[in-house]
Amino acid sequence: MIGLAIAWRARARGLGVTVFDGRDPGSGASSVAAGMLAPVTEAEAGERALLALGMESARRWPAFAAELRDVTGVDVGYRACGTLVVARDGDEAEALDREVALRERLGLRTARLLPSEARRREPALAPSVRLALDVPDDHAVDPRLVAAALVLAARQAGAVLHTGAGVRSVVCDGERVTGVALEDGSVVQAGQVVVAAGAWSALLEGVPASAQVPVRPVKGQTLRLLDPSGPGLLERVLRYEGGYIVPRGDGRYVLGATVEERGFDTAMTAGAAYELLRDASELVPGILELEIEELVAGLRPGTPDNGPILGAAQGVAGLLWATGHFRNGILLTPVTADLIAAELAGEPAEHAFAADRFASPAPGPAAVPAP
Ligand code: GLY
């Protein structure tokens, strides 16, 4: 999704764009993501720059979704539904109070709700809910619809999309990128190359050691459920210790998500389905009446500080990263596309997510042993 959005925005700036994808565009992590646009609920102490980037991207989402609808006719399922965070017991209620305090310090809009008020707003909640937090500005979108719309929008704007055409390596001439080599051995020339390969970004061959980035796969499994009687069980996104339920507004719900450090494994496991259903049904017992549509597994592109890697690669002119979006790829799509398209057009912006923050420090002077 990140690559497609960059292609669309880069075409809007008049750049010639070709996208290569070994699979169908949007069929990786984008098709597994639940689609929460949740800078406030995802906020962690010590990640203020990420919070600011997420807030800015959330602000851009309504116009991004409306523009996609206008140019493609696809409604991408943007829902300004808000989010409720709920605690199941005393320990979780204490933890939620700490989360409230953090968000108040950060000036974020949240409100503590008594269980009775939470249940008035979402009657499907179990009576066992101990405390709730209303987060009115965290919303949701349907990532599969966004990806489908972006394919259309990018093509309509004049980008050329090659699917089933995986990139094996970046091709450089000294300290300048000159193109990419595909899996079939052919080489494609390009003045600039953007790597938006998600969890696979660090596997790309041909990137000089000094320019490499620490992206690793973090597996997530999500379960798709359907209420055959239609929407109404839940209106808002519901979050709780270890998971979330995202209503699509049409009777479909996405339960997420596991967080597993298992390399490139994408097996779907019975244990994940069990845990996702167990946790969700403790809070919304009605979930167990729904039909199972799908269990899917995908790979988040994780980085050491949980932030994305955006813009110029170190020491390789013309090579740019747009990767490492970890838990926030869908949220950060509009702002990433705008930042990278601007940089491609020669207008780089200052931000805290440059690749050089992971550079190893230059070796200092050799220690001289004391006599
Ligand atoms: N954004 C939620 C997740 O990565 O599971």
CATH class of 216-302: alpha beta
The whole-number average pLDDT for the span 176-204 is: 97
User: Does 2-77+142-213+305-357 match 216-302 in CATH topology?
Assistant: no
Q: In what order do the strands lie in the sheet with 176-182?
A: 167-173, 176-182, 187-189
Residue 370 has pLDDT above 70, yes or no: no
More confident residue, 370 or 125: 125
The whole-number average pLDDT for the span 156-184 is: 96
Q: What pLDDT, on the 0 to 100 scale, is given for residue 363?
A: 54
Task: Give me ligand 1 centre to Cα 304, in Å.
Answer: 16
List phi, psi (to 5°) of 50. -65, -40
**Ligand 1 binding pocket mutation candidate from 299, 300, 330 (most atoms within 8 A of CB):** 300
The domain segmentation of the chain, as residue ranges, is 2-77+142-213+305-357, 83-136, 216-302
CB 237 within 8 A of CB 247: yes
Q: What pLDDT, on the 0 to 100 scale, is given for residue 288?
A: 98
Q: What is the pLDDT of residues 86-118, one digit of tens each?
A: 999 999 999 999 989 999 999 999 999 999 999
Q: What is the pLDDT of residues 147-161, one digit of tens each?
A: 999 999 999 999 999
How far CA 132 is from CA of 177, 240, 286, 321, in Å, comes to: 51, 9, 19, 39
CB 41 within 8 A of CB 139: no
CA distance 365 to 273: 54
Q: Whose CA is nearest to atom 1 of ligand 1?
A: 327
Q: What pLDDT, on the 0 to 100 scale, is given for residue 242?
A: 87
**Ligand 1 binding pocket mutation candidate from 1, 36, 245, 260 (most atoms within 8 A of CB):** 36
Q: What is the pLDDT of residues 266-303, one digit of tens each?
A: 999 999 999 999 999 999 999 999 999 999 999 999 99
Model confidence at 215, pLDDT cuts 50, 70, 90, reads very high
Ligand 1 atom index nearest CA of 330 = 1
Q: What CATH number labels 2-77+142-213+305-357? A: 3.50.50.60
Predicted model pTM: 0.95
Residue 364 has pLDDT above 70, yes or no: no
List phi, psi (to 5°) of 95. -65, -40
Model confidence at 25, pLDDT cuts 50, 70, 90, reads very high
> Does the Cβ of 39 fall within 6 Å of ligand 1?
no
DSSP character string of 70-91: HHH------B---EEEEE-SHH
